[in-house]
Chain A
């Protein structure tokens, strides 16, 4: 059973455009929602994360929007650049499980110059 559902599976965006990736979860015990960026042949790297006590978090061009009632969260990449082309994974965890993460299925983002 997929604990975290992610969409779209792939995304193509023009340089300068906005990339939006969505995730949904069911388990209300999750209390930490990170996004990871992964380049081919590399391990995932933490991009940005949010806790359910806030509805939005922004770091540079990356913003997480969180809707607790809908159990959804999304990643927005503003002014998308070719260097942003990578696979993005959302995840969710409960701190009392010792950082065991449940990952979404991933979104392959391609930013066209």
Chain B
């Protein structure tokens, strides 16, 4: 069946570095992908909508210069957390849109020291 993968699954970095997270749709094409952020024991918060070949649409309060999104192909969207700080530590989840409904990736745990 259709699967969405994320890489890496877990990353630990020092404050000030940039981290790239990949979201791939396997066996299907996704013109639209969503990026979510989830804090411990909380719900998923939509950060941005990633559209293939165009600029991402960011939710209110999400810094687009901080969270760079690139949807370069129909199967890949990337989220880059630039100059990461400890408050950016979170669980980042993507979902890929398809006709039968979205499929969520397994998530990426980011820890910024």
Contacts and interface: CB of A to CB of B under 8 A. Distances in A.
A106 B106 contact: no
B42 A100 contact: no
B97 interface: yes
Contact of A98 (B4, B32, B41, B43): B32
Interface string A41-83: 1111110010000000000000000000000000000000000
Interface residues of B, number: 22
Contacts of A104: 43
Counting chain A residues whose Cβ lies within 8 A of the other chain, the interface size class is 20 to 34
Q: Chain B binding site: helix, strand, loop or mixed by DSSP? A: strand
A101 B59 CA distance: 13
A101 B34 CA distance: 9
Contacts of B46: 100-101
A99 interface: yes
A37 B93 CA distance: 14
A43 B93 contact: yes
B43 A89 contact: yes
Interface in B29-43: 32, 34, 41-43
B104 A44 contact: yes
A44 B109 contact: no
